[in-house]
Chains A and B, each alone.
Chain A
Amino acid sequence: MIISIEKKKFSEAVHTVARFAERKSATLPALSSILIIAGDEGIKMRATNLETGIDLKIEGVCITKGVVAIPATILQQIAGSFTQEGKITIEHTGDTISIISGNSKSSIKTIPYEDFPSIPFPENPKNRIVLPGVLLRSLFTSIASCASSSTVRPELASIYLSIEGGVMTAVATDSFRLAEKKIPLTNKGTQGKFLIPAKNALDIAQALPDNDIIMSFDEHQCAFVGDMGMVVSRLTNAVYPDYRQIIPKESIVEAVVLRKDFESALKRTTIFSDSFQKVRMSFDPKKNTFSLFARNADVGESVEALNAQITGSALELSFNHRYLSAVLALTSSESLSLVAAGIGRPLIIKGVGDTSLLYLVSPMNQ
């Protein structure tokens, strides 16, 4: 195999693909390597850790065909070291490959590629959706952090995607807070729902292009196909709780605050939060203020009162500040609306004018 690729293109591709390779070294060597294929369809790079997989197309010149597997970490280090513009040539001879760039030449030992698994496409992709990759990427990156990091309950470590009536709804929760985001789709016919592991979704998001991609899925597998190639992930085989039932339908007080006020007040109050990361929130409809309070026996205490539009009755609730600040990454609205349903009930946060987001956070014991 002899191929020639732009340095920049090569580095980008290796960076993207390496995320999909197995990071633990104990397993099959083929899994922690990147497979480079030069054939009739051009040059491709593949990697998989048996959870997710990628098959990426790269621009380049294929001089002679061939297949080779190289350890991902080595390739990553080499790609990271390129500084100048220019092309590199990769030559495969025997059980080594040579990467030639200008006057330098590195030879790397290859790994038997026969062990490299295939990247499975959904067997029965009856459900297909076309949507802009940039939309899906921002959806995954914003919402994945709200999923549970523990694998005890696989359904909570996943993002729930449901497609119905031309709208895709994504939900993630770790049982302390819940984020629901909706995005409109162009083709309205498809219906379906699946659970994708949040960790996989994050990896996939990095590999998605800006333009349109086709998302297809069956019961166990999903794939994202675009002009960049294909990314696949296994799906979580579990039932997602009927989360809609925990969203309070009634409210006793609503506050509308400016996002920048809320952000800076929260940032300062957080400094004084205790080991439970507790921040107290009070709604005062008489003075029309919304205030945040935190006290740490070792540091001190702080009160921040914000001008707000409050409708309803006075209320005080405490929250973990990390769950409050997480909402800022989910919406870009200028103002936020906070709706409380009472003591011990979850608080709903929405962006004013942003109907796509619903964020639910459970209070702490008083």
Chain B
Amino acid sequence: MNKGDPKELWEYMLTQVELSISPANFNTWFRNSFIVKIEDGVLFVGVPSQFFKDWYLKKFHTLLLKIVRDVSYEFRNIEYLIVKDENRKAPKEVKNTRGALELPLEDFYINKSDNLNPRYTFETFVIGSFNNLAYAAAHAALERPGITYNPLFIYGDTGRGKTHLIQAIGNQYKKQYQGRKVFYLTSEKFVVDYTDSVQAGTANRFKDKYRQYDLLIMDDVQFLSKKEKTQEELFHLFNALYDTNKQIIFSSDRPPSAIPDIAERLKGRLASGMAVDIGEPDPESRMAIVRKKAASHGVLLSNEVIEYVATSMNGSIRELEGMVNSIICQAQVKGLAPDIAEVRQSLRSFSRPQKNISVKNVVDKVAEFYGIDEESIYEKTRRREVVRPRQIIMYILREDFHISYPTIGTKLGGRDHTTVIHSCEKIKREMLVDSDLLQEIQNIRTLLV
């Protein structure tokens, strides 16, 4: 027998235990236990619950110790740990036959010891020209953590994938360097943690807690502005980690030098390693993101749909994902991928916040803008100060709200549709030459949104 091998040793011990206690006792107490590890002559036995731990200590401790001492004197003691036993898992999950959709709980498992969300990995990260540099820097930092780029500072506007990238670094680091400690937190959490510890008078424990990590990832450091004491704490923490060559990663929505109200010495340190930005994703990358996101949910979208989704709105990737999610949801409900017409229909809510505005509402706003009585718009007057606003109303109703010419005519005091057409054309023509008018119409539009 190899006494260094926990499995063999435990099997030998079991045969010995079986001889000294009743079969019922043996089956009850020993079936689900095993040796977790052997360290410095101490045997760690894993048991399923507190019931077992107490009873082992009370009844079997001397027996086990005697058996293990007979094997070798190098074993000094036995300790008992309560552990999850993976072997006890039931074989197969029952298939969901009830036709109900499951609540998507799987997506939200977060590892408590390092705060990392396992969903964020490099496999799901789309690389394009906009984030190529940041991605390369992340990889370089993973190659030689703490040395190449320390600290790594990633910045970019909201929804560009900063959190995804830095969490992916954490997840990859965990995989590559097993046994080393990673911790992810937002700067807001850091502030709360610090104030809590000061309040509880455990500031020293707070210091120790953060100094033990081999990789510390802090998200959204711009929120540290004006929190002077926390900044000072971060400054000391930074020095402690930096001096021991521990990798530090920050993210922010702006470069270090542009973060307001932050101590100069901290600002300098944030910028001292590598600061890279993630720019706006180009259309091709956006298409790749849409495709990848949809594929990860098992939905295949046509190229036409992908292009439409990727180009219909510029803005953050987060909003893009929101659109894709709504398409996926539709696909799941209907059982097939939606075509371009359906997508256009369903994404209308995403593409510009369009309120249903009544004609009266527009009339009110424009009349107010020009300081005239709204009643006069509906009247058959041709006073110059009324005619122009009336034409503008017609133009806006037609251009922005796609109301038909005849309807506009009837709503505005029973005018002929040709009058409306004429007015719209006139405004359109004049806008090209009259920049004041253009400005006025722009201002009115902002009032209507």
Residues of chain A at the chain B interface (Cβ within 8 Å):
26-29, 31, 48, 50-51, 53, 115, 117-120, 122-123, 150-153, 156, 173, 175-178, 219-221, 232, 234, 237-239, 241-243, 245-246, 276-278, 319-320, 323, 342-346, 360, 362-366
Contacts and interface: CB of A to CB of B under 8 A. Distances in A.
Contact of A323 (B28, B54, B90, B100): B100
B285 interface: no
A365 B24 CA distance: 50
A234 B101 contact: no
A147 B67 CA distance: 43
Interface residues of B, number: 43
A343 B106 CA distance: 20
A178 B100 CA distance: 13
Contacts of B58: 118
A278 B92 CA distance: 26
Contacts of B25: 28, 115
Given A115-B22, A241-B109, A360-B103, 7 more contacts: A28-B28, A115-B25, A156-B105, A173-B105, A239-B110, A239-B112, A319-B100
B105 A246 contact: yes
B244 interface: no
Contacts of B48: 234
Given A237-B82, A278-B99, A344-B333, A151 B90 contact: yes
Task: Indicate the member of B28, B51, B90, B98 with the most A CB atoms within 10 Å.
Answer: B51
Given A242-B110, A345-B329, A221 B50 contact: yes
A176 B103 CA distance: 6
A176 B51 contact: no
B101 A120 contact: no
Contacts of A26: 27
Nearest to A112: B22
Nearest to A123: B50
A101 to B, nearest CB: 32
Given A48-B51, A117-B54, A276 B99 contact: yes
23 contacts: A26-B27, A28-B24, A28-B28, A29-B24, A120-B53, A153-B93, A173-B105, A175-B103, A175-B105, A221-B50, A234-B48, A237-B82, A245-B108, A276-B98, A277-B98, A319-B100, A343-B329, A343-B330, A345-B329, A362-B100, A362-B101, A362-B102, A364-B98
Given A220-B82, A343-B333, A152 B103 contact: no
A150 B28 contact: no
Given A31-B28, A246-B105, A234 B50 contact: yes
B206 to A, nearest CB: 17
Contact of A120 (B51, B93, B329, B330): B51
